């Protein structure tokens, strides 16, 4: 299933260091910015696997998507557990073969496909494979979301090492404040120079803790402070 990276320039995977790193905030912020400023380009959101109610339902509330629920999340399990565990509880298996056709069809139909990972980069999506394996096998340029908290530097270093071991095309890191942080706290907990030095990976911006992470205006604003030249496909910007 591996695809050449150059053919995936209209696709971006949002991965995290772990659960609750802020993948959904990053995904919805980029999606909100795209829909506001690139209306000439179509957008698809994909959460390949989901366990329990969550991201798929949020996408449907926030955005007008020209996708069916099955195209957003081809594999859906009821229990909020790791997919292989949730599937086992339901007497099912994680059939990853269902994901690839949906992914390639979305690439063909839409200008930009945002894919949100499950849990962390090392989280299992089956009994054999992790999110990192999926990113490699699908050849998707990937962004790593690192939460601003104690231990963030080690988490960034470990996950970038995992990405390299798995052959993931990592395009950058986004820092996300999972709780309110001052500028000095952000600098102390996630010093950009140190993270970039240890990981040899560019930090593409920092997202503050949002009062309302479902507010589209706030999401657009925080996305505008990210390095969008790296994150977005190269389409002409819309001038109303």
Active-site annotation, residues: 47
Residue spans of alpha helices (H) in the chain = 23-37, 55-62, 69-72, 83-89, 99-109, 131-138, 152-166, 183-189, 192-199, 216-223, 228-231
Enumerate residues 6+ apart whose C-beta is below 8 A from 86. 51, 52, 77, 78, 79, 80
Alpha-carbon distance of 134 to 132, in angstroms, equals 5
Enumerate residues 6+ apart whose C-beta is below 8 A from 33. 219, 220, 223, 224, 228, 232
Alpha-carbon distance of 4 to 149, in angstroms, equals 35
Alpha-carbon distance of 147 to 228, in angstroms, equals 19
């Amino acid at each position: 299933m591996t695809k050449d990276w150059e053919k995936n320039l209209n696709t971006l995977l949002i991965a995290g260091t772990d659960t609750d790193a802020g993948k959904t905030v990053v995904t919805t912020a980029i999606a909100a910015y795209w829909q506001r400023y690139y209306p000439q380009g179509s957008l698809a959101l994909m959460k390949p696997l989901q366990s329990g109610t969550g991201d798929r339902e949020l996408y449907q509330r926030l955005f007008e998507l020209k996708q069916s629920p099955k195209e957003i999340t081809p594999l859906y399990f009821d229990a909020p557990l790791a997919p292989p565990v949730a599937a086992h509880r339901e007497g099912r298996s994680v059939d990853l073969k269902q994901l690839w056709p949906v992914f390639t069809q979305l690439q063909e139909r839409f200008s930009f496909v945002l894919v949100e990972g499950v849990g962390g980069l090392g989280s299992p999506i089956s009994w054999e494979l992790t999110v990192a394996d999926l990113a490699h096998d699908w050849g998707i340029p990937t962004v790593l979301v690192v939460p601003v908290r104690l231990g963030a530097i080690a988490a960034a270093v470990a996950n970038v090492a995992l990405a390299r071991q798995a052959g993931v095309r990592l395009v950058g890191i986004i820092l996300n404040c999972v709780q309110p942080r001052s500028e000095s706290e952000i600098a102390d907990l996630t010093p950009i120079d140190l993270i970039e030095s240890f990981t040899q990976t560019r930090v593409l911006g920092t997202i503050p803790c949002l009062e309302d992470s479902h507010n589209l205006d706030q999401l657009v604003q925080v996305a505008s402070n990210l390095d969008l030249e790296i994150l977005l496909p190269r389409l002409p910007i819309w001038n109303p």
